[in-house]
Amino acid sequence: MNELVKLSVHSDIAVVTIDNPPVNALSPGVPEGLAACIADAVANPATTAIVVIGAGTTFIAGADIREFGKVVAGTTKPVDLPAIIRSIEDSPLPVVMALHGTAFGGGFEVAMGGHYRVIAPAGKIGQPEVKIGLIPGAAGTQRLPRLATDFAVAARMCVFGEPIGAKAALAAGLVDRIIDGDLLEGALAFAREIASQPFVKIREREAIISDPTIFHQLHTEATRTRRGQEAPLAALESVRNSSLPFDEGCRLEREIFVRCLHNTQSKSLIHAFFGERTVAKIPDIPKETPTTTIRRAAVIGAGTMGGGIAMNYANAGIPVILRETTQEALDKGLGIIRKNYANSVKKGRFSQEEMDRRMALITPQLTWDGFEHADIICEAVFESLALKKEIFATLDAIAKPDCILATNTSTLDIDEIASATKRPEAVIGHHFFSPANVMRLLEIVRGKATSKTVIATSMALAKKLGKIGVLAGNCRGFIGNRMVHVYLREAQFLAEEGGTVEDINSTLYDFGMAMGPLAMTDLAGIDVGWRIRQESKHLEKSGVRRPLISDRLYEAGRWGQKTGAGFSKYDENRTPSADPEVVRLIEEVAAAAGITRRQISREEILDRCMFAMVNEAAKILEEGIAIRAVDIDIIYLNGYGFPAWRGGPMFYADTVGLDKVLARVEEFEKVHGSEFWAPADLLRQLAAAGKKFTA
Ligand code: NAI
């Protein structure tokens, strides 16, 4: 018994309550307190059964993830959780685990130490350890397959980490009853029913593997859907060991767990896990900063981005006006929204009524009617500074005084756009990513005059829209696109110097990126890049090399996937293949520019693409455009298909070692010039001090 776990007596039933707010995590003291309370309850001769329950809104939601880092660093010796769970299981009195909220990870492993489990209707259980690069480490992979009536359910929970709800848990034998009404009352009643009955320990059961092909199936699925990740396969290996004697399975589970705990993937995923929470903290904008309530929204432009942005508002229950210039564009935009929602209904994500409700929240129109009531207006018209300034001047005249004026520009200067208004403090960048209704990232760009209230409201709004908001400073391309610009530049330079399109794409894909850089260019549209270049021609320095091949592709009408050809050829299913015509075009461009083509190694492809980005990111940090290195990582993980198990570009650079990164950057500088490769001062300083970006 301690502050975190308390024992009380309800006539003949002992109740052990875990009270470690906010989520009853298994922090130091909780497992020990549990064991002590159970021992005390057992020692009381009047007790016939024990109920374990969580105070507040949840059972034990999981391990205290910060503890893992301390264990790896050797600053903490972890409590022997498996032994404590075993001691609960050895209780001579039956133990009923009463679950609500989330019983995840170590929480569900504790629950499996009990002899019975009851659950609230909205309760969820799961073994999500693989999501932070680990496997269940307190016999979860051994007890779960012994408990489940369906081995596949248990195996899937460990391998993919997805939680299941009360009904599914009951169907798979993972809980014994769903308790409607008061959970404690229901658990007490259940405990009285079973108090005098014999009971079994899960560890003494056998796992029944009715279909041995399950291992092969899950291996194939995990390799495909969790590409590059070690933990899902490690979890599968451990689940497979549930056919061994329990103690042997546990011994092996521990070995695999420790292996995962010490590898880079779990460190990267834990970095990403905490990073999502860190980015919400903005040093000069305290939590108490006043915010405005967003009740009504308006979006300008119903194109690729505007339609998706309007859906975000409707999804969050916020009525939104969607304005276009022509009926045709409006109908087209609305048609795509309807199709997207209909797809979700078809996939069973929500009902037809829900779709109708969301559609009804979107008011399509060609006028400015109602804009005067909007709490936020988000502009998503063509990427043209002149057009955007014209629109912001109009908004300045019609929007109410505290309305937030947001632009979805991906490259343009927020201050310049704000200068078209008399209220630059209200103007902010809301850079959504395509498809805007799907991608989780919202890069929020503060101009020099943007008010703290507008920033704080935008950060809160991101959350409401189900997005991760990351704050960036104002510069060309902000954080994400400024970095992707140098990444794509190197990919194209490499192609011109002799790298094949296929090698360049597959090197980055095999590294873990969702797609290769040239495939990404084909998806985004070569015409889109071309248009951006036309807008920024005045920024080009003469005598400085620039990628030439995309202009040639644009001129040849090869605009990427949408035209069936770009850097690759695409069939009707958009499957790419190599195209000799591209090779010819690239050779032509290279010859005209006097570039000597050579064989290029995958190592060079990877290092040039990655380290160009990392070096640029170091400058972004130096300039204060990004608050912390982890903000950059979160942007890349959620907006650019960077593999979470590598932690993001900054964390990846740290794992390589900044001295090694710097050495490569200096090598490339010698060959390709300082214009592109002058090392960032910050990179030099950190490398010299033996430090990291993400300390
Ligand atoms: P788009 O060309 O698909 O859509 C623009 C829409 O705005 C068109 O439907 C056009 O009719 C409409 N429009 C033009 N002037 C208007 C006005 N005065 N009032 C109302 N509607 C007007 O372009 P997209 O791709 O949606 O881009 C929009 C903005 O989002 C741009 O600033 C772009 O840089 C940015 N962006 C684009 C991303 C992408 O992947 N496509 C990603 C992130 C930002």
Query: CATH number for the domain including 608?
Result: 1.10.1040.50
What is the Å distance from ligand 1's center to 409 Cα?
Answer: 9
> Rounded to whole angstroms, what are the CA distances from 627 to 211, 471, 618, 619, 630?
52, 8, 11, 12, 8
- Residue of 470, 127, 63, 430 lying closest to 279 (CA atoms): 470
Mutate to test the pocket of ligand 1, among 367, 378, 382 (most ligand atoms within 8 A of CB): 382
Q: Are residues 69 and 104 in the same domain?
A: yes
Q: Over the range 265-299, which residues count as b (16 or more CB within 10 Å of their CB) and which as e? A: bbbbbbbbeebbeebeebeebeeebeebebebbbb
Q: Are residues 681 and 662 in the same domain?
A: yes
In this structure, what CATH number is given to the domain that contains residue 329? 3.40.50.720
pLDDT for 476 equals 93
What is the Å distance from ligand 1's center to 442 Cα?
Answer: 16
Range of the domain at 142: 5-262
User: Is any atom of ligand 1 closer than 6 Å to the C-beta of 391?
Assistant: yes
pLDDT of 543 above 90: no
User: Is any atom of ligand 1 closer than 6 Å to the C-beta of 410?
Assistant: yes
Kind plus residue range of the DSSP H or E element containing 406: strand 404-407
Question: What secondary structure letter does DSSP report for 536?
Answer: T
Q: Are residues 498 and 561 in the same domain?
A: yes
User: Is any atom of ligand 1 closer than 6 Å to the C-beta of 380?
Assistant: yes
Mutate to test the pocket of ligand 1, among 381, 413, 445, 534 (most ligand atoms within 8 A of CB): 381
Cα separation, 527 vs 513, in Å, equals: 23
Q: Are residues 440 and 304 in the same domain?
A: yes
Residue minimizing CA distance to atom 4 of ligand 1: 303
Please, which residues have CB within 8 angstroms of residue 578's CB and are 6 or more apart in sequence?
Answer: 500, 501, 502, 568, 569
Final residue of a structural domain among 442, 477, 512? 477
pLDDT for 108 equals 98
pLDDT of 36-67, one tens digit each?
Answer: 999 999 999 999 999 999 999 999 999 888 88
Q: Are residues 566 and 514 in the same domain?
A: yes
State how beta strands 362-365 and 320-323 pair: parallel
What angle do helix axes 65-73 and 246-261 make, rounded to 10 degrees?
80
Instruction: Clarify whether 109 is annotated catalytic.
Output: yes
User: Is any atom of ligand 1 closer than 6 Å to the C-beta of 377?
Assistant: no
Q: Are residues 83 and 97 in the same domain?
A: yes
What is the Å distance from ligand 1's center to 167 Cα?
Answer: 44
User: Is any atom of ligand 1 closer than 6 Å to the C-beta of 409?
Assistant: yes
Residue minimizing CA distance to atom 31 of ligand 1: 383
Measured between its terminal Cα atoms, the distance across the chain in Å is 37
User: Is any atom of ligand 1 closer than 6 Å to the C-beta of 434?
Assistant: yes
Structure-token pair, residue 549: 């091949």
| Predicted TM-score of the model (pTM) | 0.94
Does 275 map to a domain? Answer: no
Instruction: Clarify whether 535 is annotated catalytic.
Output: no
- In percent, the amount of the chain with pLDDT more than 70 equals 100
| Confidence label for 69 from pLDDT (cuts 50, 70 and 90) | confident
Q: Are residues 680 and 540 in the same domain?
A: yes
Residue minimizing CA distance to atom 12 of ligand 1: 301
In this structure, what CATH number is given to the domain that contains residue 42? 3.90.226.10
User: Is any atom of ligand 1 closer than 6 Å to the C-beta of 336?
Assistant: no
Q: Are residues 578 and 438 in the same domain?
A: no
Query: Which residue among 3, 89, 109, 185 is the active-site one?
Result: 109
Structure-token pair, residue 379: 């502009």
User: Can you tell me whether residue 548 is helix, strand or coil?
Assistant: coil
pLDDT of 460-472, one tens digit each?
Answer: 999 999 999 999 9
Does 269 map to a domain? Answer: no
Q: CB neighbours (10 Å) of residue 588?
A: 13
Final residue of a structural domain among 416, 447, 477? 477
Q: Are residues 469 and 488 in the same domain?
A: no
Residue carrying the six token digits 């207006």? 377
What is the Å distance from ligand 1's center to 419 Cα?
Answer: 20
What is the Å distance from ligand 1's center to 299 Cα?
Answer: 11
What angle do helix axes 264-278 and 649-656 make, rounded to 10 degrees?
140
> Contact 442/638 with Cβ under 8 angstroms?
no
- Residue of 238, 240, 222, 237 lying closest to 160 (CA atoms): 222
What is the Å distance from ligand 1's center to 487 Cα?
Answer: 24
Q: Are residues 491 and 504 in the same domain?
A: yes
Final residue of a structural domain among 452, 477, 502? 477
> Contact 268/645 with Cβ under 8 angstroms?
yes
Average pLDDT over residues 291-310: 97
pLDDT for 75 equals 84
Residue carrying the six token digits 């309807």? 338
Average pLDDT over residues 574-599: 95
What is the Å distance from ligand 1's center to 123 Cα?
Answer: 42
pLDDT of 92-150, one tens digit each?
Answer: 999 999 999 999 999 999 999 999 999 999 999 999 999 999 999 999 999 999 999 99
pLDDT for 684 equals 98
What is the Å distance from ligand 1's center to 187 Cα?
Answer: 56
Tally of domains within the chain: 3
Give bridge partners of residue 363 from the DSSP assignment.
321
Structure-token pair, residue 461: 């709004």
Cα separation, 518 vs 503, in Å, equals: 10
Query: Which residue among 32, 67, 129, 288 is the active-site one?
Result: 129
Does 695 map to a domain? Answer: no
What is the Å distance from ligand 1's center to 536 Cα?
Answer: 17
Does 289 map to a domain? Answer: no
Cα separation, 619 vs 373, in Å, equals: 41
Structure-token pair, residue 94: 């039956």
Does 326 map to a domain? Answer: yes
What angle do helix axes 480-497 and 501-511 make, rounded to 10 degrees?
140
Helix H, strand E, coil C: the string for 64-75 is: CHHHHHHHHHCC
Can you say how many angstroms the Cα of residue 305 is from the centroid of all Cα atoms in its chain? Answer: 20
Does 468 map to a domain? Answer: yes
Question: What secondary structure letter does DSSP report for 128?
Answer: G
Q: Are residues 470 and 487 in the same domain?
A: no
Q: Are residues 124 and 170 in the same domain?
A: yes
pLDDT of 368-392, one tens digit each?
Answer: 999 999 999 999 999 889 999 999 9
Mutate to test the pocket of ligand 1, among 299, 300, 304, 561 (most ligand atoms within 8 A of CB): 304
pLDDT for 542 equals 85
Closest atom, ligand 1, to C-alpha of 390: 18
Average pLDDT over residues 85-93: 97
Cα atoms found within 13 Å of the Cα of residue 622, Cβ hemisphere only: 14
Cα separation, 600 vs 503, in Å, equals: 9
Which is more confident, 69 or 94?
94
pLDDT of 663-676, one tens digit each?
Answer: 999 999 999 999 99
Does 662 map to a domain? Answer: yes
pLDDT of 1 above 70: no
User: Is any atom of ligand 1 closer than 6 Å to the C-beta of 480?
Assistant: no
Q: CB neighbours (10 Å) of residue 441?
A: 22
Does 341 map to a domain? Answer: yes
User: Is any atom of ligand 1 closer than 6 Å to the C-beta of 301?
Assistant: yes
Cα separation, 603 vs 623, in Å, equals: 30
In 415-564, DSSP assigns E strands to 427-432, 441-446, 468-472
Average pLDDT over residues 678-693: 98
Residue minimizing CA distance to atom 29 of ligand 1: 380
- Residue of 198, 1, 201, 197 lying closest to 90 (CA atoms): 201
